Chains A and B, each alone.
Chain A
Amino acid sequence: MLKINQLISGYGSVQILNGANMKVEKQSIVALLGGNGTGKSTILRAASGLIRSWRGTIEFNGEQIQNLPAHEIVGRGLVQVTQGKDVFPAMSVTENLKLGGFILKSKQQLLDNLEKVYNYFPRLNERKDQLAATLSGGELQMLCIGRGLMSNPKMIMLDEPSAALAPQIVLDIFKNINRIRQDGLTVLVVEQNVRMALLLADYGYVIKDGVINVEGDSKKLMYDESVKESYLGGTKANV
């Protein structure tokens, strides 16, 4: 569904990605793992059009989408879900969600999607009139995922959904991500929480220094030495 081929990109004149390749099959959950500053988020930002791709291609549903304006990429059904802190704090939960469905034409569709998101995350329904600034960390993350689902995407890309959350809440959110996949969406998860991400995903990629050098089945990756190495700088510690 999403195919990234020899992608080179970065910020300003700093090159972060040095030719990354990866592929996400339809209706699968793929984990993209890597430490700080390895280029995980850069791949997402390039795919969702927030930064320019310098070279290489990004294909979505067989069409090249690199360097399209970000709102057109959303229109094609590829949506990036930001980390929990990136909500509109002075707006209510419902308003935040409605903003997620900004590209929808019909009002009925918007209400249907709102219903669908509340179905995934009943907690948001309880808090629908509260300002987003008053939500807890887990609820914010649910809000971000819900906002991503509002525009009827075909594929969502999650940027560290477990960042700074308690394990119990992470588990809850990951269960919901699995449910979202069962309902027909494709999911790409960028994570630092290796164990949890590999439990969730079918397939994993490990990125280091802007190049994806290890990939494989998530069950296999979980016991792979190079994954540990990539995370812990070669020291022999248990992940």
Chain B
Amino acid sequence: MFNKLRIGKKGENIIFGTFVLLYIGWCVNSPDMNIESLKSVLTIGLSVGIIYGLVALGISLIYTGLDVVNFSHGEFFMIGAFAGLTMFNLLGNQDWIFNVFPDAYGWIIYVVCLFTAFVSMGLFGVFIERVFLRPLTKKGGGYTVAGMGIIICGFGLSVVLINVAYLIWNPVAKPFPAELGLPMEIGGLFLPITYIWMIVVGLSVAAGLWFFLNKTKMGLGIRAVAYSKDVSNLVGINVPLYISIIFGIACAIAGIGGTLVGPTYQVVVFMGYIILMKAFAAAVVGGFGNLPGAIVGGFTVGIFETASSFYISGSHKDLYAFLLMIVVLMIKPTGFFGVQVKMKA
């Protein structure tokens, strides 16, 4: 789960460095290049990147803990956004919050929404794991690399969850008008304060997860389960329970990501799919299965994507993340933090 930055083969690094320099040169040559635009690119890039990073964190956590790739993770992100929005609509009608906290009611409501998304998606993740995935592990493979059935079922689960959300919330994009204060001016652009908020909350969640995994007893158990389920069994860890906990935490983090994105963009039933793809790109760039790598990969993909659409061409915005992923896979197949030998925990 935590590997040091791998100093790659010399050739790998030289080729990769050449690509980076070429890319920077291309951006600097652009007529839009100035320090002002660079500031806003960095702000937007980091804030979008932390969202990719949070979803990638969940994907990596499930991959290390359960040895399967969860293809329905984007849907937990989307349902998390709806959970936050539902809470927001409930609290928006409550006058007493406004009366008690006239200055900060927007923030308080939003924090409650984040918390709701976190808890409800955690419970929902545990429910999905227990009811739908666990029976599949009984036949063939279990939670191992051999459990191909679970991976296929991830796709199915994704379609089911999208359609359930479609039935409940209908396909119209919904605004999430959180009142978090006036926009700020960064580099000549007026950006909603939610961009900064995304970075702050996202990094806190990542730091909290690091603290949880490294400093608590339950975290120690999770790292043990991620390394070996047999040995964890033998030291008396309740492995089935811990697998549920890992899945729940990954989904809860995705839910927070959804609620963070809500106020800046909109909440739509189909928002999970593209986020999942970008998060995969982020996870691959950072090193699949590595948790700090997921966040670093998220930032890299976010900044690369934003910078490219600013300085190169804005009409192919969704192309760049995958371009970066392909380049990384070609030159440095393990990603920034990955190791070739599979060594987890």
- With A71-B239, A82-B234, A151-B235: A99-B228 Cβ-Cβ less than 8 Å: no
Task: Number of B interface residues at 8 Å Cβ cutoff, please give it.
Answer: 22
A96–chain B nearest beta-carbon distance, Å: 9
A76 nearest CB neighbor, chain B only: B236
Known: A71-B239, A99-B220, A102-B217. A90 touches B345 (CB 8 A): yes
Report whether A75 and B234 are in contact in the complex, using a CB–CB cutoff of 8 Å. no
Size category of the A interface is: 20 to 34
Q: Which of B230, B231, B236, B239 contacts A103, CB < 8 Å? A: B236
Give Cα A16 to B235, complex, Å.
25
CB contacts (< 8 Å) of A89 on chain B: these are 227, 343, 345
CA distance A49 to B232 in the complex (A): 12
B321, CB-defined interface residue at 8 Å? no
| Smallest CB gap from A48: residue in B | B234
Contact with B along A22-57 (1 / 0, CB 8 A): 000000000000000000000000001110000000
Q: Does B224 contact A (CB under 8 A)?
A: yes
* Chain A residues with CB below 8 A from B223, complex form: 88, 91
| Contact mask for chain B residues 331-345; partner A; CB cutoff 8 A; 1 contact, 0 none | 000000000000111
| Residues in chain B near residue A50, CB distance under 8 A | 230, 233-234
CB pair B227 A88 closer than 8 Å? yes
Residues A94-125 near B (CB distance < 8 A): 95, 98-100, 102-103
Contact in complex: B2, A90 (CB < 8 Å)? yes
A75 to B231, CA, bound (A): 15
B221 within 8 A of A: yes
B237 lies within 8 A of chain A by Cβ: yes
B238 is an interface residue with CB less than 8 A from chain A: yes
Decide: A79 near B237, CB < 8 A? Known: A88-B224, A88-B345: no
Contacts of B211-246 to chain A: CB distance below 8 A? 217, 220-221, 223-224, 227-228, 230-231, 233-240
* Interface of A (DSSP majority class): loop
Please, which residues of chain B bring their CB within 8 A of the CB of A91? 223, 345
Which B residues are in CB contact (< 8 Å) with A74? 233-236
- In the bound complex, residues from chain A placing their C-beta under 8 Å from that of B224 are 88, 99, 102
A80 within 8 Å of B by Cβ?
yes
B231 CB → nearest A CB, Å: 5
Given contact pairs A89-B343, A90-B345, A95-B220, A147 touches B228 in the complex (Cβ within 8 A) = no
B231 touches A102 (CB 8 A): no
CB neighbours (8 Å) of B227 from chain A are: 88-90
**Given contacts A99-B220, A102-B217, A102-B221, are A88 and B228 in contact (CB under 8 A)?**
yes
Are A80 and B234 neighbours in the complex by a CB distance under 8 Å? yes
> Which B residues, 105 to 159, have Cβ-Cβ distances below 8 Å to chain A?
none
A179 CB to closest chain B CB, in angstroms? 22
Complex-state Cα separation, A90 to B343, whole angstroms: 8
Give the shortest distance, in Å, between A46 (CB) and chain B (any CB): 13
Q: Of all chain B residues, which has the CB nearest A81? A: B234
Task: Contact check, A86 vs B231: say whether CB atoms are below 8 A apart.
Answer: yes
Chain A to chain B: the 9 pairs with minimum beta-carbon distance, closest first: A74-B236, A70-B233, A103-B236, A71-B236, A71-B238, A86-B231, A80-B234, A102-B235, A88-B227
Given A70-B233, A70-B239, A150-B235, 8 extra CB contacts under 8 A: A74-B234, A74-B235, A82-B230, A82-B231, A86-B228, A98-B220, A100-B235, A151-B235
